Structure 1
Amino acid sequence: MTEIHVIRKENRHLYEHLFDLYHRLRYDIYVRQRRWMALDRPDGREIDQFDTDDAVYLLALEGTRIVGGMRAIPTTCPTLLSEIFPQLNLRSPIHRPDVYELSRILVVPERRGEQAGPGLATMLQAAIIEYGLSVGLTGFTIVLETWWLPRFEEQGWRAKPLGLPMDIDGMSTVAVYVSCDEETWDDMVQRKGIAGPMLHWLNLSSVPRVDISLSCRPTLQVF
């Protein structure tokens, strides 16, 4: 059974044993598989300047095995879009407390594609919308290859370009804004049959509670 856990600075100590595996998985996917050699490190872990205490991680776990994940960073902090790829913005990068940047979205190879059953990528996309709705976010920015755009549309995400696509290291790359709202959640529920809240908020009792109908938006669960 796949569980998606919210990891923030308040509860990271409970997951510290997983983070070496997590960074090695990122290295395997982004350096070994995707050949993003600028991320290469001699210790075989992929870590960058955005892996700070402000980062929020969603990790998809099957027992103690990490099968997927993503990172969310407040846009009030330095982000990929503000520091590394500012040229992808037609205007100034977004700096708002209700908008986070998503990055390092990953799924292990054997859990990709329709042959793997109900999509883990879809679960992660729904999970981050659930997180955003639960804590009062209104949207996410993402730097991504343009071939992701039709996939986002098919999953129910409404992605609005923040600038023109550019060739970066041989890839057509664009920055987008994805809305985090009830309409997006409802669309994903209807298209993909999301059963309801899926996040595990282990030891995050300080997270604001929301009283939202299961049929339209997630209800925060604290374990």
Structure 2
Amino acid sequence: MEVTTLSYNNLHDHGTLFADLFRARHRTFIRNNGWNLPEADGMEFDQYDTPASRWVAVHEGGAVMAGVRLTPTVHRCGIYSYMIRDAQRGLLETIPADLLGFEAPVDPNIWESSRVFVSDLVPAADRLRVQMRLIHEMVISARALGAVSLLGIIPEHAPRLARRVGLDCIPAGPVLDTGGMRSVCVTISMQTRMH
């Protein structure tokens, strides 16, 4: 199993991995979850997949097993900044504006974690190991980008998993029903030591 952090600067070094990540997102979010998201050629994408973002992919034998997108909270593209802030500003129809208990930050040391998934093709016996690899690389990448904390929307019970691996993951808003899933906005400190 390999873990790769992709950026527009290194896509050419990784063959079809970037497109495969977007295909795995399509399978997870559109086909399996039934979310109404932008898609083309069997790939899911949105307005936050810009050169400012980074994508962490867990992959093996050409198959993407898990992924996450990291986006700086200081980035803007047209009217958009990052998903949580744009939801709070009322720009997104599918995410409630009251998702966060404070004003969404615009800070070079805070990045957003979004589009987190583990493929349904990952056997149950391997899921925890894949999640651990994804979380570990996400933290390494976020720290390398200068993040001292992340802000993200995760499944309601995921903070327990985060604590098991040593992440300081704190709910930062109410439990939401997002696309048929119960989720919560969290802050994740990059200062803690992972197990």
Category of TM-score, reference length = shorter chain: 0.7 to 0.9
Q: 1:180 to 1:119 in 2, by over 3 A?
A: same
Query: Do structure 1's residue 76 and structure 2's residue 69 form an aligned pair?
Result: no
Paired residue for 1:192? Answer: none
Paired residue for 2:92? Answer: none
Conservation of the 8 A alpha-carbon contact between 2:118 and 2:127: no
Q: 1:118 to 1:170 in 2, by over 3 A?
A: closer
Query: Do structure 1's residue 165 and structure 2's residue 164 form an aligned pair?
Result: no
Shift of 1:118: 6.2
Q: How far apart, CA to CA, are the structure 2 residues paired with 1:117 and 1:51?
A: 26
- Per the normalisation by structure 2, the TM-score is 0.82
Query: Do structure 1's residue 51 and structure 2's residue 66 form an aligned pair?
Result: no
Which residue of 150, 164, 167 corresponds with 2:160? Answer: 150
- Per the normalisation by structure 1, the TM-score is 0.73
Shift of 1:42: 6.1
Which residue of 79, 87, 94 corresponds with 2:105? Answer: 94
Equivalenced residue count is: 182
Partner of 1:129: helix, strand, or coil?
Answer: helix
Paired residue for 1:212? Answer: none
Query: Do structure 1's residue 121 and structure 2's residue 131 form an aligned pair?
Result: yes
Which structure shows the higher helix fraction?
Answer: 1
**Structure 1: gaps of 5 or more residues:** 190-223
Which 4+ stretches in 1 moved above 4 angstroms?
A: none
Q: AA paired with 2:82?
A: T
* Higher deviation after alignment, 144-153 or 69-78: 144-153
Conservation of the 8 A alpha-carbon contact between 1:110 and 1:116: no
Q: How far apart, CA to CA, are the structure 2 residues paired with 1:137 and 1:171?
A: 28
Which structure shows the higher strand fraction?
Answer: 2
**Structure 2: gaps of 5 or more residues:** 76-80, 88-94
Conservation of the 8 A alpha-carbon contact between 1:69 and 1:124: yes
Conservation of the 8 A alpha-carbon contact between 1:142 and 1:177: yes
Q: 1:89 to 1:66 in 2, by over 3 A?
A: same
Q: 1:118 to 1:166 in 2, by over 3 A?
A: closer
Structure having the higher Rg: 1
CA-based RMSD of the aligned residues comes to 2.2
